[in-house]
Amino acid sequence: MATTTATLILSSADVTGHNFSMTQTATLTKAASSTGLDEFTGITSRTYAGAQANTIIIAKGDYVDTTVSHKVYIRNTSTGNSDYILVELEDDVIVGRLYPGDWMFIPYLGVLNVEVTTIATNVSIEYGVFSQSTVS
Amino acid sequence: MATITATINLTSPDITGDPLNLSKTSVLNKAATATGLDQFTGITTVVYAAAQTARCIVLADDASGLSGYADTSVAHKVYIKNSSTGSSDFVTVELGGSNIIMGRLYPGDWCFFPYDGTLDVDIDTSAANMKVEYAVFSQSTAS
């Protein structure tokens, strides 16, 4: 099986009274297992000509659900600072807004679609799913 | 205002036919501005003696105004990690009063996502003695 790692580095010289720097690395494995995730969509890049409303970017039907350890990566690749992407789980459950340059990395259970809403034209996005098959 | 950066590195030599090596850095700014986020909870670390159900770790803005975060037009960010050991004890990340499930964090897994301050972030833990760490980078209403 594949070996995939996800590393997060958070740093700031001035958000607290002292330097803050944190690095966390996770090896992406199947649920309750040391076996690596074995599926990946690749990184999809899209530029939406028009504003989007609840556009499905990750369809629940494409994935095994419930006892899983899927991961979702999404990034707003637009420029400027105002054209946000509203990320929602199915039925308008708002996760939050990704402003240009912002990214997110979340666990995904496979039971709800992941959707995006944009407010402007020509908003660009990239996303990918690391997931587990039912192969042991 | 503060300057905070968040970098993600996704790497794999073998999940596709070609090596994956993605690295993206974001400067965490207030919504629709080039001004940095100015609030940080610090990293909270908790060891739960017993399994938890719908344990609120990030409290949305509430009517009393006594707690929570500015909402709607915001660029808050939430970090959560399952710091437990082994491979089976998972943290379920949930949103809102209906506890809509985002997904499961197995030991060592972390997540980082935008937060609009309108829904609580809750967790369930699957076992006793699980360690979880979490934090919020947020924006005040100061300009």
pLDDT digits (tens, 9 = 90+) for A16-31: 888 999 999 999 999 9
**pTM as predicted:** 0.97
User: In this complex, do B101 and A111 lie within 8 Å of one another by their Cβ atoms?
Assistant: yes
Smallest CA–CA distance from B8 into chain A, residue: A8
**Helices and strands per DSSP (H, E), number in chain A:** 0, 11
Per-residue pLDDT reduced to its tens digit, B103-143: 999 999 999 999 999 999 999 999 999 999 999 999 987 75
Q: In 3-state terms, what secondary structure has residue A61?
A: helix
**Among candidates A3, A72, A108 on the partner chain, residue whose Cβ is nearest the Cβ of B14:** A3
Structural domain spans, chain B:
33-138
Residue B62, pLDDT score? 59
CB contact under 8 A, B79 and A8: yes
pLDDT digits (tens, 9 = 90+) for B20-43: 999 999 999 999 999 999 999 999
For each of the domains in chain A, give its residue range(s) and CATH number, in order of start: 29-131 (2.60.120.10)
Q: Do B6 and A12 touch (CB under 8 A)?
A: no
User: What's the gap in Å between the CA of A37 and the closest CA on chain B?
Assistant: 8
Q: Do B7 and A9 touch (CB under 8 A)?
A: yes
User: What is the per-residue pLDDT for B70?
Assistant: 87
Kindly report the CATH number that applies to the domain delimited by B33-138. Answer: 2.60.120.10
Residue of B nearest to A35 (CA): B87
Quick check: A84 and B32 CB within 8 A? yes
* Overall average pLDDT of the A44-54 stretch: 98
Which pLDDT tens digit goes with each residue over B66-112? 567 888 799 999 999 999 999 999 999 999 999 999 999 999 999 99
**Is the Cα dihedral A33, B77, B2, A16 positive or negative?**
negative
Least Cα separation, residue A38 to chain B (angstroms): 7
Interface size A-B, in CB pairs within 8 Å, comes to 190
CB B124 within 8 A of CB B53: yes
Provide the CA A76 distance to its chain's centre, in angstroms: 10
Question: In whole angstroms, what is the distance from residue B51 CA to residue B116 CA?
Answer: 27
